[in-house]
Amino acid sequence: MAASPYIIDYRGVFDFPIPPEELWDAIERADRFEGWWSWLSEFRLMGDGLRRGSVLYGVVAPPLPYRMRLRIDLEECARPSRIEAAVHGDLEGRARLLLEDQAHGSRVSASWTLEMRQRPMRMAARVAHPALRWGHDRVVEATVRGFRHHLTSDNEQGRPPQ
């Protein structure tokens, strides 16, 4: 558990059925994300793809009564292996994605340390940090499950992931 109830420190490893180059292309299709995930709205990528200096904006609504506005500044991007970002808004912190080539696709290591900045979230975290962590983890699980589903659906229909 993090030292502060306001901090979410996360580490996860996930496998995907396509190579890192194709996975990177799919991640760059940010225009499709809102249609894939009901908890994400007002999402947009400003800039020329996943490159240093590009910015992601969006609103996240986990299965708890909170909506979080976020700005994610891409600070380092090494196609197709690494993304390092600074997160601002209702959550503040750092995030990293590492993509590795595997025999049957890609392995993605995701990590972030984020501080809850919204006053209601901070108040709730003092007494219900496990519930907030539960909501966070459900959003991560739904994201990975949904992303795998969309990648698999596109591949089964003979289309490159979009």
Q: What pLDDT score does 156 carry? A: 53
Q: What pLDDT score does 139 carry? A: 82
Query: Which structural domain, as residue segments, surrounds residue 140?
Result: 7-156
Q: What pLDDT score does 33 carry? A: 86
Tally of structural domains, the chain: 1
Pairwise CA distance, residues 58 & 6, whole Å: 21
pTM listed for this prediction: 0.86
Q: Considering the domain boundaries, does residue 1 fall inside one?
A: no
Pairwise CA distance, residues 125 & 71, whole Å: 22
Residue 73 dihedral angles phi and psi, to the nearest 5°: -90, 120
Q: Considering the domain boundaries, does residue 64 fall inside one?
A: yes
Q: Considering the domain boundaries, does residue 161 fall inside one?
A: no
Which CATH number do you get for residue 64?
A: 3.30.530.20
User: Could you read off the pLDDT tens digit of each residue along the chain, which spans 162 residues?
Assistant: 447 899 999 999 999 999 999 999 999 988 888 888 888 899 999 999 999 999 999 998 877 777 899 999 999 999 999 999 999 999 999 999 999 999 999 999 999 999 999 988 898 888 888 888 888 888 898 889 989 988 887 655 554 444
Q: Considering the domain boundaries, does residue 87 fall inside one?
A: yes
Q: Considering the domain boundaries, does residue 2 fall inside one?
A: no
Residue 112: closest CA among 130, 132, 134, 91: 91
| Amino acid at position 146, single letter | G
Residue pair 156/148 in contact (Cβ under 8 Å)? The answer is no
Q: What pLDDT score does 86 carry? A: 98
